[in-house]
Structure formats: C-alpha cells, structure tokens
C-alpha cells in the first residue's frame, strides 16, 4: 500500500519524534475511555506541534484518502477517538500553550492541547475562572472538550462548553485554515460557525486555537446535603429550588444504589436507606449566597428533606467527597462500568429515575444513577463484566431502552458526552430523517471525502 | 498473590482499569514524553494485549515497561483502585522471564544473589573508585572520568571509605532500655550515606532503645525486583528474612522508602506461595517500621532540649508516602525540633525522577523530572532539604548542584541527631557524609 509513502511524508513534515509507527506504540491508541467498544489499532500516530504541521497532516491524509482521527487526551465516553478504519491518529497534546490571558476582555486564547485545569490554574491569578468542569477536568484537553462540548458539575448555572467558546481557528478537511468568532462579546456575522464546530467531535475540522470567555470567580460558596426518603420529594425539591428563583451552581443527585455503594466504599456517613440525596452548592456575592442558602434549606425542608448545611470548608469538602466518590465507588464494584448520559427536562427526573429502576429489574442489572439533576443530565451507570457475553446482551438491551425512555420524556441522547460510535444508532430517533439529511449535508460540504473522524456521529 | 510469577495472576487487576485516563494528570513520565505508552493507562492496555496474545515480548515492549518510575502516583489517583505499579512490575517480570536481562544487569544481579561476594565487590569498588570518579572541588560529589556504566554527565556521591556496618558496633546499648530493635541499613546508607546511618542509631539510643545491626544483612532486593529479576529478589528476601528472624527483636527499623516497602509488602508478595517463608514474611512485616514512624507512632519521641536554627523543606519519597503511607511522621519529627521551621514546597510528594536504576538508564528524562523538583525546592529557599531516602537524596544533590545551589540534602533523623547531640553540649555542626 501507500502506507510507507504516507509515513515518509509525515516524517518529513513533522520530524521523526512526532511520528509513531511501532506496533506497541500504536496499540496504545486503539482505545479511549469508553467501555464496551471495539479496539482498533491505527496505522500511524502523529503528534503535531503547530497549526502548520496540522495542515500538513490533513493534506497528506486527504491526498492518500487516509482516515484521520483527531485525539486529545482520549477520555471521551462515546468511542469518539477509536480509529474505526485505521489510518492516522493525530494527538493534539503537544500543542499545549496558553497563548494569551486577556484580563481586560475576560478572554483566554489557548492551543487545543491545553488541559482544562491548567487553564483554570493560570486564570486563577487574575481572579477568574473558566467554568466548564467535566469530571476529567485535570486530564481532558481544551480541544477535546470543545469538540465534545463537554459539561460538568457547574452546568446548571454556568452552562456547558459552547457557552464559553468565542472564537476558533480550524484546519479544514482541505488543509486550509479558517478563523471564526473572536473576542467581541457581540458577534452575529453570518452563520454561527463557532457553534457549528463546538460539539462536532472531530468530524468537521481540526481545532487548532480556541478563544474562550472567562468569568470572575465567585466570591464565596455554600454547600448542603439534603436527604430524601422519597424520590418524588427529591424531585419536587429540585424544581422547587429553581421555581423559587435560586439557580445553584451545582445541584447533583445520587440514587439509593449509588448512596449504598459510596457509603460502603468511602464511609462518609450517608444514610443508606434514603431514596435519594441532593448535593447543592450556591455561589456568588456573600449576601446573595446567604439568602439563597436559606431558600434552598426552606425548600428542602418543605419537601421532607433532611438538610445538612456545610458551615466550614472541611464540611463542604466532606459533602463533595461523597459526590466525587460516586463513580469510583461504582467502578470498584464490577470489572466493567458502562456510564450513560441520558438527559431529560428537569421536571421529568423522577420519571426517568423510576424508569431506570424498572429497567434494572427487567434486565436484572445493577444500575447506579447519579448526575446533574439541576440540568436533567443523569448518568445511569451499569455495573457489569464485559467477559460475560450473556449479561452484555442484557446490558445492550437496557441501554437501548434507557435512550428510548429519555427521548419519550422529551429528553436528548447526550447531555455532555456526545454521540461518537456509542449512540449513533439512536440518532435518527432524535433528529428524524430530515434532520439526519441536514447533518449529512453539512458533513459533506465541509469534508466531502469523509476523511475526518469517519464513522462517528453519522454513518455513510 | 504471587503476581510476579505469572502475568495471568494480575489479570483481575488489569480488568479493573476502566481506561478513564485519570492517571495522565499525575504521571511524571507522561508529562515529559506525551505518549500514551508513557502513562499507566497505556501500559495496562498493552499488558492486556500481551496477555491476550495481540502483542509479543519484544524489545520495544520491554522498553515501554521500563519507562516507569514506579512512583505510584497513578495508583494514588486511580478512581477504580487499580495498582498500575504492580501491573507494571508483574509485566517487567514476565518479559524478563521470556527475554532475560541485559548482560550488565545479569552480572550485577548475579553478584547480588551472593551477599558476601557483593559486599567484597563493593568494598573493592570503594577503594578503586578514585580511578573512575573525579571528585568535584569542595563537594562530596564526583563525576565519572570515563564511562563506568554511568552517564558521563552524571554527578554522584562516591562510596564511603568504610561501609556503615564496619564503622559501628553490632550492638548499641543504652542504660535503661525500653526496647530492642534490629536496624536494617539498606545499601544507600551502608555504602554511601553512613553518617545518616549513625544518626539512626543515635536517635534511637537517645530515645532509650537498644539497636542491633546484624552483620550478615543484605540489600533489600527492591532494585532487583523492579528490574523484573524475580528469582534473585526471592533469594535476597529469604536471606534477609532468615537473618532478621534469628534475634527476637521488638521491631525492625529501616530508613528508606524502598527498604520499608520490601519488609512491609514485597517480601510477602514475593513469597506468598511458599508456606514457611510466606508466613515468616508476614510475621516480620508487622514488626517493620521506618525510623520516623517508629519514633513518632511507637515511642512518642522525646523532644530535644537544644534548639537549632534552620528553615527546612521536606521531600516525600514516593515509596515512603504512597508505598507505605508515611508522610506525617517525618514532618512530626521535624516539627518536634525546636527552632526548625518546616516550609512546604509545592507538591512535596511529586517524584524526584530518581527511581533507582531508572536514572541510570534514562538519565536525560530522569534529569528533566528532577529539575522540576529542584525548581520547587528553590522557590522555598530552605537552609536544608530533608528527605527519607538515600536514592532521592543523591538525585536531589545532583539537581541542586547543577542548579548552582549550595543547599545540602540530609535525612530527617540527621537533624534530629544533631539536636540531641547539642543537648549534651556538643554544639559543633555535623558534617554530613
Ligand atoms: C471518569 C470520566 C468522567 C467524565 N466526566 C465528564 C463530565 O462530567 N462532563 C463531560 O462533559 N464529560 C465527561 N467525561 C467525558 C470526557 O472527559 C470529555 O468529553 C472530555 O472533554 C474529552 O476530552 P479529551 O481531551 O479527552 O478528548 P478526546 O477523548 O481525545 O476526544 C474527544 C472528541 O474530540 C475530538 N477532538 C479532540 N481534539 C480535537 C481537536 N483539537 N479538534 C477537533 N476535534 C478534536 C476527538 O476526535 C473526539 O471525537 C468524562 C469522562 C470520564 C472518563
Ligand atoms: S489505571 Fe486507574 S486512573 Fe489510570 S486509566 Fe485505569 S482506571 Fe483510570
Ligand atoms: S508509577 Fe509513576 S511513572 Fe509509573 S506509570 Fe504510574 S505515575 Fe507514571
């Protein structure tokens, strides 16, 4: 084949140290964080260090019609970086410079390989934060999170990644560089190309530079843990808090399976007989935080919730330790952890939680659910063993049903983890035929040869 | 779980990895090489490929698995509770079983399986080292004159003129003793930092403890184990167990992260399948303590009456803090010395990049990791850097020297010994060595 030629040209363009060809090295790029997804070993891995090198790679891929899979830290949960048709994996982690922090305009300009936490550490000196904070904030790259439009714990008040991306530099499938958006707060020129690339999962272009919006760090914060004997009460509290015009930064839920698992693992003093706990944090100006915390406390009590307000920093840490322990605790129970991302309108949370309980019973599976209750984004987590073929069949059926229910409740397939390979087959159910056609038209217009991350989101 | 005998045995541990990538955030190697094979997640998945026959025991594979500091930062940060360090060591062992060791290592480890010859060999080396090493003016440091297995750019502490074991009496008694302990010296301080070894005995004596230092003891065997030579590691483990089972000691006191790890975990892990030695390893593991741990947790150490005047910072050796969970005790020792101020550096538990023989094989990479540590130390600007491990000490000494700094590196108990000595009217500063 032409593989040798491709490697030769890649080496010429990027230097030997940025081109990996040994099969042991390649094997390390055959997977990402997604469970229950095929491993595929790419033919070559490249680590460009500049936009120009990215252009070279894209041009070579286009010339030889080699599939090109852009990769950040490979922490996505939808199979987004699996090189399904082999070809080239392009890892962006070496492009990891923070190019500018503009405290006057409240923006930062970064290369795509910058780790989200590193950006946050850098802007903290200016009293600023970059709010999107996925669970992987210490590992995920800015490029990967923009391409995945990731969310996180602060989504309810602060939104997800797309609310913070103001401008992009993108290398298109033909190797040309395009810039869109910028530092202006107002920008309504032509189509919103910035938003188009945010969440495009590497299928429309390669992001090589990102301008993001920063916000002043909240002056203070207050956390509480509320325990509920009934799911309905917990749900009423969620909607009640917001109906009372308090938008917490974080409003998280853990179901009984999760509570019991976390308690068993971390011994943080959670009530194992509770049906649900809510973890709530309000932040902002001290006076407002005080007032909002009171409202939260009142609403929880009115809905039969037992409330524990954190008075000190240590107590606050204890509360969040419980939430942080959720996934680890669940992950330790069984060899394989299938983490889903079904999202419903806030008011439908109790329906969704009940449906999940029913699905777990029906397919005889352990499902622990936790997640961002305030924004309706739940993470039902199936504890299983991928070596058990029979059980995996039931897992797949359960997953199908989870998404069916979510959609029937007016929800969406993904609140933050994207479509990738994992949720491709449900896409038409959400978008409809006309919708899929429109998506395909966009993909064809920008990447006619289907070079960029082929096999993801859309099937051709 | 004798995971070092068969890769199969580590399969459950491998399966536990959910590939979340959290280990990327803390792996010093990954931060330098920026390749998935550098970090635990990549290595674990490759081990899985090896186990399931998709990859073979190639030289490249061996190289990938050698590229790890066994600093255990990944294990400490893993949400699924995976022990990547164990998987990596088990895979190294599997590869060595298949491919054998490189010639140089084979020769050295062969020598190590014979304690007496090993001691003689080092004794000779200490006499001949002047031929190979060139002393650096005004420093207890030297650099190679010609390649003697060291990178030519390397700076080292030369071997002590006489090993610790021949400088000290076998038994150091105190008038009214509270306990009788055995001192396991380990190589770094038997052959290089002998002053630190004497300090261990002095501080234990000062706290009313009799110290026996068995003459026949040997290296702890960790350098051999981490290189995948399980056979020699087992021989060494059995040898030491026999030596220390002989006296009926209240405790076995060690002085470095690797040695305490050997006594607390590794001997038992290595010998679990052998009834007699397995049981003995377990029994003695309950008696093993790092010197700071023993002083603080067991003795309730006596605060020295004399005052010193130092600002110090403490570097946590990986095998001490994550290997056996000791980080508070050395700090308590420091805080108990009046006049000594502990000023913490940023991330005091980040690996210094030494990792024993790692720094020999990957000198450049090890140096990059070390220099980050040195920057953190210098930003605190202490009078002394304290630590609890000889290998870290040598690495930091080299790093500080290269950075043009005169800040000395010492073991925690050396400063304590100095404070106790000053009580008795001896006020002169001790020279470390
Ligand atoms: C334990 C755990 C917890 C998580 N928690 C959350 C959470 O709370 N919220 C959330 O939203 N997500 C979460 N995730 C998912 C994941 O961490 C995020 O999607 C993250 O943003 C992915 O970043 P990455 O750098 O790893 O990207 P990768 O996984 O490498 O790539 C993700 C996608 O982006 C594309 N891509 C990467 N870089 C570029 C680029 N420069 N240009 C174009 N395309 C690119 C890839 O092709 C791929 O499709 C979690 C994952 C794990 C394992
Ligand atoms: S070793 Fe632990 S932290 Fe690393 S990828 Fe596996 S599960 Fe995640
Ligand atoms: S032990 Fe240290 S160097 Fe080795 S993989 Fe883990 S974090 Fe990296």
Distance CA A426, CA A1 (A): 36
Please write the tens of the pLDDT for every residue from B42-77.
Answer: 999 999 999 999 999 999 999 999 999 999 999 998
CA distance B332 to chain A (A): 22
For chain A, the three-class secondary structure string (H helix, E strand, C coil) is: CCHHHHHHHHHHHHCHHHEECCHHHHHCCCCCCCCCCCCCCCCEEECCCCHHHHHHHHHHHHHHCCCEEEECCCCCCCCCCCCCCCCEEEECCCCCCEEEEECCCCEEEECCCCEHHHHHHHHHCCCEECCCCCCCCCCCEHHHHHHHCCCCCCHHHHCCHHHCEEEEEEECCCCCEEEEECCCCCCCCCCCHHHHHCCCCCCCCEEEEEEEECEECCCEEEEEEEEECCHHHHHHHHHHHHHCCCCCCEEEEEEHHHHHHHHHHHCCCCCCCCCEEEEEEEEECHHHHHHHHHHHHHHHHHCCCEEEECCCHHHHHHHHHHHHCHHHHHHHHCCEEEECCCECCHHHHHHHHHHHHHHHHHCCCEEEEEEEHHHCEEEEEEEECCCCHHHHHHHHHHHHHHHHHHHHCCCECCCCCCCCCCCHHHHHHHHHHHHHHHHHHHHHHHCCCCCECCCCCCCC
Give the pLDDT score at A328.
81
Please write the tens of the pLDDT for every residue from B162-178.
Answer: 888 889 999 999 998 99
* A interface test, pick of B24, B64, B73 with most A CB neighbours within 10 Å: B24
Distance CA A385, CA A337 (A): 8
Greater confidence (A269 vs B323) lies with B323
Q: Report the residue of chain A nearest B33, measured CA to CA.
A: A94
Give the pLDDT score at B427.
41
Distance CA B236, CA B184 (A): 13
Q: Is-contact B201 B172, C-beta < 8 A?
A: yes
Give the pLDDT score at B149.
56
Per-10-residue mean pLDDT for chain A, 460 residues long? 91 97 98 94 98 98 97 97 97 98 97 97 97 94 97 91 98 98 92 97 98 96 94 91 94 93 85 93 95 96 93 86 83 88 89 93 94 90 92 95 95 92 94 96 98 95
**In CATH, what is the architecture of A219-330?**
2-Layer Sandwich (3.30)
- C-beta atoms of B42 and A33 within 8 A: no
Distances from the Cα of A350 to the Cα of A230, A305, B83, B263, angstroms: 10, 15, 38, 53
| Rounded mean pLDDT, B301-312 | 95
Distance CA A304, CA B179 (A): 59
Ligand nearest to the CA of B29: 3
Mutate to test the pocket of ligand 2, among B44, B46, B73, B75 (most ligand atoms within 8 A of CB): B44
Residues pairing with A382 in the sheet: A338, A367
Q: What angle do the packed helices B84-99 and B59-66 form, to 10 degrees? A: 150
Atom 1 (ligand 3) nearest CA: B70
Distance CA A377, CA A416 (A): 8
Give the pLDDT score at A1.
58
Give the pLDDT score at B429.
42
Please write the tens of the pLDDT for every residue from B249-299.
Answer: 999 999 999 999 999 999 999 999 999 999 999 999 999 999 999 999 999
Closest CA to A155 of A138, A135, A139: A135
Q: Is A406 exposed, middle or buried (0-12, 13-18, 19+ CB in 10 A)?
A: buried
Mutate to test the pocket of ligand 2, among B14, B15, B20, B26 (most ligand atoms within 8 A of CB): B20
Q: Return the H-helix or E-strand segment holding B183.
A: strand B179-183
Distance CA B9, CA A160 (A): 43
User: Which of B25, B37, B81 lies at the smallest CB-CB distance from A28?
Assistant: B37
Q: Return the H-helix or E-strand segment holding B158.
A: none
Q: Parallel, antiparallel, or unpaired for β A250-255 and A276-284? A: antiparallel
Q: Is-contact B199 B411, C-beta < 8 A?
A: yes
* A interface test, pick of B16, B20, B33 with most A CB neighbours within 10 Å: B20
- CATH class of domain segment(s) A334-449: alpha beta
Distance CA B415, CA A286 (A): 47
Domains and CATH numbers, chain B: 7-99 (1.10.1060.10), 302-423 (3.40.50.11810)
Closest CA to A278 of A292, A267, A258: A258
pLDDT tier at B430 (50, 70, 90 boundaries)?
A: very low
Domain boundaries, chain A: 1-91, 98-216, 219-330, 334-449
Residues 6+ apart with CB under 8 A from B27: B38, B39, B40, B73, B74
Q: How many residues does chain A have?
A: 460
CATH classification code of A1-91: 3.30.43.10
Partners of B37 on chain A (C-beta within 8 Å) are: 24-25, 28
Q: Is-contact A171 A54, C-beta < 8 A?
A: yes
Q: Is A407 exposed, middle or buried (0-12, 13-18, 19+ CB in 10 A)?
A: middle
- C-beta atoms of B45 and A35 within 8 A: no
SS3 B364: helix
Q: Cβ(B19) to ligand 2 under 6 A?
A: yes
Q: Is-contact B125 B158, C-beta < 8 A?
A: no
Alpha-carbon dihedral sign for residues A408, A409, A410, A416: negative
Q: A278-288 burial string, b = 16+ CB within 10 Å, else e?
A: bbbbbbbeeee
- C-beta atoms of A332 and B16 within 8 A: yes
Q: Is-contact A108 A98, C-beta < 8 A?
A: yes
Residue A143 phi/psi, 5-degree rounding, is -60, -45
Please write the tens of the pLDDT for every residue from B377-429.
Answer: 999 999 999 999 999 999 999 999 999 999 999 999 999 999 999 987 544 34
CA distance A388 to chain B (A): 13
The CA-based angle B367-B93-A333, given to 5 degrees, is: 95
User: What ipTM was assigned to the predicted interfaces of this complex?
Assistant: 0.93
Residue B138 phi/psi, 5-degree rounding, is 65, 15
Closest ligand 3 atom to Cα of B84: 6
Distance CA A454, CA A83 (A): 8
Mutate to test the pocket of ligand 1, among A93, A147, A210, A336 (most ligand atoms within 8 A of CB): A147
**Is the confidence at residue B433, as pLDDT, over 60?**
no
**Is the fold of A1-91 the same as that of A98-216?**
no
Pick the CATH number of A98-216 from 3.20.20.20, 3.40.630.10, 3.30.465.10, 1.20.1250.20: 3.30.465.10
Atom 8 (ligand 2) nearest CA: B20
Whether residue A73 lies within 8 A of chain B, CB to CB, comes out as: yes
CA distance A246 to chain B (A): 33
Distance CA A142, CA A164 (A): 11
């Amino acid at each position: 084949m032409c593989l040798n030629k491709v490697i030769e040209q890649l080496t010429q363009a990027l230097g030997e140290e940025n081109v990996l060809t040994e099969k042991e090295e390649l094997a390390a790029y055959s997977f990402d964080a997604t469970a229950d997804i095929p491993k595929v070993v790419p033919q070559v891995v490249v680590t460009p260090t500049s936009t120009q090198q990215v252009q070279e790679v894209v041009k070579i891929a286009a010339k030889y019609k080699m599939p090109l899979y852009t990769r950040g830290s490979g922490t996505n949960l939808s199979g987004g970086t699996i090189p399904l048709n082999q070809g080239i994996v392009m890892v962006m982690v070496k492009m990891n410079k923070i190019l500018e922090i503009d405290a006057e305009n409240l923006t930062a300009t970064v290369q795509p390989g910058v780790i989200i936490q590193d950006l946050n550490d850098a802007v903290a000196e200016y009293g600023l934060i970059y709010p999107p904070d996925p669970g992987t904030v210490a590992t995920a790259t800015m490029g990967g999170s923009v391409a995945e439009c990731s969310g996180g714990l602060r989504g309810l008040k602060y939104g997800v990644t797309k609310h913070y991306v103001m401008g992009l530099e993108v290398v298109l499938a033909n190797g040309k560089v395009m810039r869109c958006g910028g530092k202006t707060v107002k920008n309504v020129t032509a189509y919103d190309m910035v938003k188009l690339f945010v969440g495009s999962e590497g299928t429309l272009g390669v992001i090589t530079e990102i301008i993001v919006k920063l916000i002043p760090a909240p002056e203070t914060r207050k956390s509480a843990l509320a325990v509920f004997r009934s799911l309905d009460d917990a749900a009423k509290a969620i909607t009640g808090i917001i109906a009372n015009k308090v938008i917490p930064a974080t409003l998280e839920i853990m179901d009984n399976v999760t509570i019991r698992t976390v308690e068993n693992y971390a011994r943080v003093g959670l009530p194992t007989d509770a049906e649900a706990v809510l973890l709530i944090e309000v932040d902002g100006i001290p006076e407002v935080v005080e007032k909002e915390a009171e409202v939260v406390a009142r609403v929880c009590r009115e809905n039969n919730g037992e409330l524990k307000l954190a008075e000190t920093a240590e107590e606050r840490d204890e509360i969040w330790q419980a939430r942080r322990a959720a996934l680890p605790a669940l992950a330790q129970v069984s060899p394989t952890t299938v983490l889903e991302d079904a999202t419903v309108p806030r008011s439908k949370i109790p329906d969704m939680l009940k449906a999940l309980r029913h699905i777990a019973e029906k397919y005889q599976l352990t499902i622990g659910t936790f997640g961002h209750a305030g924004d309706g984004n739940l993470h039902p987590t199936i504890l299983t063993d991928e070596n058990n073929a029979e059980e995996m069949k039931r897992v797949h059926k359960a997953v199908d049903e989870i998404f069916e229910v979510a959609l029937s409740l007016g929800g969406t397939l993904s609140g933050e983890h994207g479509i990738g390979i994992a949720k491709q087959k449900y896409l038409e159910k959400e978008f409809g035929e006309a919708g899929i056609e429109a998506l395909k038209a966009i993909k064809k217009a920008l990447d006619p040869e289907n070079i960029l991350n082929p096999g993801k989101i859309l099937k051709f | 779980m004798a995971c070092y005998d068969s890769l199969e045995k580590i399969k459950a541990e491998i399966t536990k990895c959910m590939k979340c990538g959290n280990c990327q955030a803390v792996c010093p190697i990954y931060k330098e090489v920026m390749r998935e094979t550098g970090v635990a997640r990549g290595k674990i998945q490759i081990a899985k490929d090896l186990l399931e026959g998709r990859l073979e025991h190639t030289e490249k594979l061996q190289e990938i698995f050698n590229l790890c500091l066994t600093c255990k930062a990944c294990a400490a940060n893993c949400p699924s509770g995976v022990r990547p360090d164990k998987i990596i060591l088990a895979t190294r062992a599997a590869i060595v079983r298949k491919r054998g060791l490189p010639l140089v290592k084979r020769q050295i480890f062969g020598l190590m399986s014979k304690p007496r010859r090993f001691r003689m060999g080092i004794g000779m080396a200490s006499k001949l080292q002047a031929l190979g090493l060139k002393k650096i003016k005004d420093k207890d440091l030297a650099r190679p004159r010609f390649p003697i297995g060291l990178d030519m750019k390397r700076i080292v502490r030369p071997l002590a003129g006489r090993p610790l074991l021949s400088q000290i009496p076998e038994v150091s008694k105190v008038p009214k003793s509270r306990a009788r302990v055995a001192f396991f010296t380990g190589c770094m301080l038997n052959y290089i930092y002998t002053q630190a070894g004497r300090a261990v005995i002095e501080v234990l004596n000062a706290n009313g403890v009799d110290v026996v230092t068995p003459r026949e003891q040997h290296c702890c065997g960790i350098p051999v184990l981490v290189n995948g030579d399980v056979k020699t590691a087992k021989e060494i483990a059995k040898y030491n167990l026999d030596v220390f089972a002989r006296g009926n000691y209240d405790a076995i006191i060690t002085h470095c992260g690797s040695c305490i790890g050997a006594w607390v975990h590794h001997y038992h892990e290595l010998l679990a399948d052998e009834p007699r030695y397995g049981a003995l390893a377990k029994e003695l593991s309950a008696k093993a303590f790092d010197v700071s741990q023993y002083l603080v947790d067991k003795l309730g150490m006596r605060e020295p009456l004399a005052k010193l005047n130092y600002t110090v910072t403490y570097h946590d050796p990986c095998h001490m803090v994550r290997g056996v969970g000791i980080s508070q005790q050395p700090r308590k020792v420091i805080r108990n010395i009046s006049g000594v101020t502990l000023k913490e550096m940023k991330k005091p538990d980040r690996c210094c990049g030494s990792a024993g023989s790692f720094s020999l094989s990957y000198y450049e990479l090890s140096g990059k990791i070390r220099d980050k540590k040195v920057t953190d130390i210098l930003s605190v600007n202490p009078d002394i850097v304290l630590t609890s491990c000889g290998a870290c000490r040598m690495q930091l000494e080299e790093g500080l020297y290269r950075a043009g700094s005169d800040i000395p590196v010492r073991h925690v108990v050396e400063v304590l010994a100095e404070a106790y000595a000053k009580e008795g009217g001896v006020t002169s500063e001790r020279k470390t060595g």
